[in-house]
Homo-oligomer: A and B are copies of this chain.
Amino acid sequence: MTVEIICVGTELLLGNIVNTNAAYLAEQCAGLGLSCYYQSVVGDNKARLTESVKTAVGRSDIILISGGLGPTQDDLTKETVAEALGIPLVTDENTRQRIARYFEKRGMEITDNNWKQAQVPEGCKVLENENGTAPGMILSVGGHHIVLMPGPPGELRPMFENHVRPYLEALEPGVIFSQTVKICGVSESKIETDIEDLLAGQDNPTIAPYARLGEVHLRVTAKAADEKEAKKLIKPVVRELKARFGGDVYSTDKDMTLEKSVVELLLAANLTITTAESCTGGMLASRLINVAGISEIYKSGYVTYSNKAKRHLLGVKKSTLTKYGAVSEKVAGEMARGAAMFAKADVAVAVSGIAGPDGGTKEKPVGLVCIACQVCGKLTVKEYLFSGDRAKVRESATACALTQLRRCLLEYCGTRTFGKDKE
């Protein structure tokens, strides 16, 4: 079956916001094995929206429409679609009651235009919105399936996940199942070269590479009669990818992030951690602290931007700074050692680099970053050269520090038993 995505909203036409809904819905559809040939954006305009809907119905089986379901006069997606398809609007009693409860709970007064949201095209399937007032709707007309969803991503995504996806899965016999192999610290081109043979002959399952900052995700997707069968098709491919990329594969779980995988390793090994940052200036700490539950193992960290701070807070030697410079493997190493000692942490990660735009020299150009990881006394220091502007260098250094830390932890854990208390 073919699918088409229509996003409604003047703010998209004005370029006020980037169309992340289209990318999300497209990625979901690809994962479901649905072929998407067109995406379009129209404003909150009746004539142009009518034209777009009619064109879409003429060429696609499934039409996903987002936006324009709000309570104001500007929001006219539902009314326009219903009129274009010749379906009258009726009041949906469930939605009416839900809206009443929504406002009552928040102690807010219901204005007349809010009741507009309880109107739905006759005979449609109403999709509950757990995160807002506007319900979603699915209309089945002449073999076409038209899905209306609210525009805010925080409402659209859970609605798609909980209500639209199961509906679409049921349309065609068989299921689509995906698993993502997440790899860190290997370039996209290297990965594509390493799996050229797998990419060349692929049919079912397929492998699709997605580049992320400092990571590459390989999504393996299979289509089969049931989930069990699809998983069986995927299993050997995932196993092969894991075999080829070994320890660089940090997860095959869709909710896992690189920082979360690092935190889980630390928790499993019962290790506390601290950070000492110069050029990344808190970015590494911030990524780690985005993992809920980090308070068990992360107690304190240091932003040591000046040489003086490196000396006073971390005990870096003045002579080391003078002899090797702040951006050097020696200084990064002393930063990590000092941080571990002062924070009384088992593990310390230190970053020192030149983020630019100024401060670079021929010997030490902008983008040069030294990263040190100390894990229970064992220090590993590496030098990197990143490209891009100041923000990009800092983000790359942060991702790279997590990758380096992960490798050090794996090495450490390989020599120990997991989950045991440390002495």
**B306:A295 contact, CB within 8 angstroms:** yes
User: For window 274-288 of chain A, which residues contact chain B by CB distance below 8 Å?
Assistant: 275, 277, 279-286, 288
Indicate the member of A12, A20, A290, A301 with the most B CB atoms within 10 Å: A301
**A280:B286 contact, CB within 8 angstroms:** yes
**A286:B282 contact, CB within 8 angstroms:** yes
Mask of A250-289 contacts with B, CB within 8 angstroms, 1/0: 0000000000000000000000000101011111111011
- What are 27 A-to-B residue pairs whose CB atoms are below 8 Å? A12-B23, A12-B39, A13-B36, A14-B27, A15-B23, A15-B28, A15-B29, A15-B30, A16-B27, A17-B23, A19-B22, A37-B48, A38-B41, A38-B48, A38-B52, A55-B55, A275-B303, A277-B282, A280-B286, A281-B288, A282-B301, A282-B303, A290-B390, A292-B356, A298-B306, A300-B313, A302-B302
> Chain B contacts of A289 at CB under 8 A?
279-282, 303, 305, 394
Contacts A18-B19, A23-B19, A357-B292; is A305 near B298 (CB within 8 Å)? yes
A42 in contact (CB, < 8 A): yes
Cβ-neighbour of A37 out of B42, B277, B293, B300 (below 8 A): B42
A43 in contact (CB, < 8 A): yes
**A305:B309 contact, CB within 8 angstroms:** no
> Chain B contacts of A165 at CB under 8 A?
none
A210 to chain B, nearest CB (A): 5
The distance in angstroms between the C-alpha atoms of A100 and B302, with both chains bound, is 47
> Chain B contacts of A16 at CB under 8 A?
27, 208, 210
> Chain B contacts of A45 at CB under 8 A?
37
The distance in angstroms between the C-alpha atoms of A144 and B98, with both chains bound, is 50
A125 in contact (CB, < 8 A): no
A299 in contact (CB, < 8 A): yes
Q: Give 9 new A-B contacts, CB below 8 A, not counting A281-B290, A290-B394.
A: A12-B22, A15-B22, A15-B24, A16-B27, A40-B40, A275-B282, A282-B282, A299-B308, A309-B343
**A300:B300 contact, CB within 8 angstroms:** no
The distance in angstroms between the C-alpha atoms of A55 and B52, with both chains bound, is 11
**A36:B14 contact, CB within 8 angstroms:** yes
**B18:A20 contact, CB within 8 angstroms:** yes
Cβ-neighbour of A292 out of B17, B48, B308, B358 (below 8 A): B358
A220 in contact (CB, < 8 A): no
A298 to chain B, nearest CB (A): 5
A294 in contact (CB, < 8 A): yes
Cβ-neighbour of A282 out of B37, B42, B285, B313 (below 8 A): B285
